[in-house]
Amino acid sequence: MNKFYVLYNTIYYDALSQSYNNILTLDNIPSGILNSLVKFIKISQISRNKIVNNNICAYAIINDKDSGYYTYNQLPQFITYLLNNNYKIYTDLDINIYNFCPCNRKAVLYFYI
């Protein structure tokens, strides 16, 4: 039986660098080798130029070739990682149906193993 996952583009405030980044996050902890690259983090809500401290949790993906998380700009490299590790991209779903999410994130890809 296949296990499906949603990949999100999530706005993340990095308190150390005091900057915003669009990072890749997942809806759940994945099975398979990707599991070792997932870290549970808190995402601060962003509301009109200020950070609200009602944290939401997400599963960020650590970029093992970089110091940090996979960013939206690195999506092609992440897709290559998925395909090279026997994950499959799910293309039968209209991704635009699921673009609304109240927590500073947007679905960009569906995949399964």
> Residue 64: is its pLDDT beyond 90?
no
Element (DSSP H or E) covering residue 83: helix 75-84
> Residue 55: is its pLDDT beyond 70?
no
* pLDDT per residue as tens digits for the range 22-49: 999 999 999 999 999 999 998 876 666 6
Are 107 and 8 contacting, i.e. CB atoms less than 8 angstroms apart?
A: yes
**pLDDT band with cut points at 50, 70 and 90 for residue 97:** very low
pLDDT, the chain, mean: 82
> Residue 10: is its pLDDT beyond 50?
yes
Q: What is the mean pLDDT of residues 80-98?
A: 78
Distance of alpha carbon 26 from alpha carbon 39, whole angstroms? 10
